[in-house]
Every structure is written in C-alpha cells, then in structure tokens.
Amino acid sequence: MKLIAHRGASLLAKENSVEALVKAARLGSDGVECDIRLTKDLQYVLFHDDSLQRLAGADCKVTDLTLEEMREILRPAGYGVTTLAELLADYRENAPVLLHSKLERLPEELLSALSKASIRFILGVSRAEEAARCRQYFPKEQVLAFMPKKEDAEVFARAGAGILRLWENWLCEGMIREVKETFGREVWIMARHPETGMNGNEESLDFLRKEGADGVLLNDIALGLDWRQKRANG
C-alpha cells in the first residue's frame, strides 16, 4: 500500500514547499502531494486554500493577488510561496509528485508543458471533464480523480482516471474492493479519522491495508512510514 505525503511532510516543514516535498521523499514516501492555484498575474503556485486567511489571517483570495503580493502577506507569518516552475526546476527525487489542481480548468499550455516535464508526476482533478482532457496527454495511471462524492466513481472511471480517491469517512467494510473490482482502477484513500483527522493513525492504516487500498494520503508521513516498518518487522 503506497503512502503519499499530503502537502509534503507537512508536519515537519511548511506545507506545499519544495522542502516539505523533498523531506517526505527522502523519508521514504511513495509519493508527495501538493496543490496548484493561479495568481492574479498568472503564476502557478503551490497553495492549498483559496485565500490567505488560515496561514496569514488575511481575508484575500489567491486569484486577487500577484505572486509578490502573496509573498509579502505570507512572509510575516513565516510562510513562503513556491511556484510550479520552481518545483519543476528544483525537485529531483524519485517519489512522484501528485499535483492537485485547484483550477476550474487546466489550460492547454499547462498540460502541454507538463507532458514535457522531467519529473515523475500524477495529475489530480476534481471534475470528470478535466480527467478526460488530461487523458489526451497522459496515460490513465497519471490521472487521479479527487471525487467530490463517492457516487462519482463511475463517471470518473469512464472519463479515463486511473486512480480513484475516496475519503476515509466514506468507507464501509468491503467498499474499497467493490470499487476496484467494478471499475478496474486503483483506489487511494484520504485519511479523515474522527480523532486524528488527516494525520492518519495505525489502526486506520491496518484497516485500509486489509480492505485492499492501493494508496493512502496522510499528513503524518513519518507515522505512516513507521507503521510500515513495524508491520514489516512484525
């Protein structure tokens, strides 16, 4: 079962930074996830939220700010802003990058540029139409569906996504295997436990492995890798 570092090693370094992604890769994660948004001056940035409220207490949207304005607002809070161009230039690890698109529509020029990128990556989208467009450039193994609802599995599979992401709190016993057998796709789970949230925990990982999950995204990648080592030695 693959272990994917959500926003990089986000408990050990600043989320969505090259440092967090590299740290997670070097710890031994099977993949590293980050988010893509577009600024007012058309710069692709690695940033999760649609505003700067959570990280900097500033109620302003990423789409209303230039890259430099974002950096000026985030700097006093101890955060930087990594651009997609910087990631493509600086990331040299073997662990593939799961690029989670927060864009309404991925521009053709971006898809074309990514098809020529030297890093290994998977492109994650939340609309079936976008999955179908991605399949014009990439094999299904490089297209992941961040499905808004568990009932969307069929439409995303038909659109060509090779990986279906389910939330942990959607699951019941047997559901993962049923989705895999019905649609012939890998199933990755986003950790969402009532006590540990997206950090993950060992009990959940045991359950997900038993149920046949192909991958798990979690914040606490160190916990996940420690769990894997203990089970391998046990």
- The CA dihedral of 27, 80, 60, 49, to the nearest 10 degrees, is -10
Q: What integer pLDDT is reported at residue 206 of this predicted model?
A: 98
- Please state the domain extents for the chain: 2-164
Residue 200 to residue 188: CA distance in whole angstroms: 14
CA-angle at 203, arms to 171 and 188, nearest 5°: 45
Residue 145: band (very low, low, confident or very high) from pLDDT cuts 50, 70, 90 = very high
Average pLDDT value for residue range 130-155: 97
pLDDT tens by residue, 154-196: 999 999 999 999 999 999 999 999 999 999 999 999 999 999 9
Residue 234: band (very low, low, confident or very high) from pLDDT cuts 50, 70, 90 = confident
pLDDT tens by residue, 44-79: 999 999 999 999 999 999 999 999 999 999 999 999
CATH superfamily of 2-164: Phosphatidylinositol (PI) phosphodiesterase (3.20.20.190)
83 has which bridge partners?
45
Note the residue count of the chain. Answer: 234
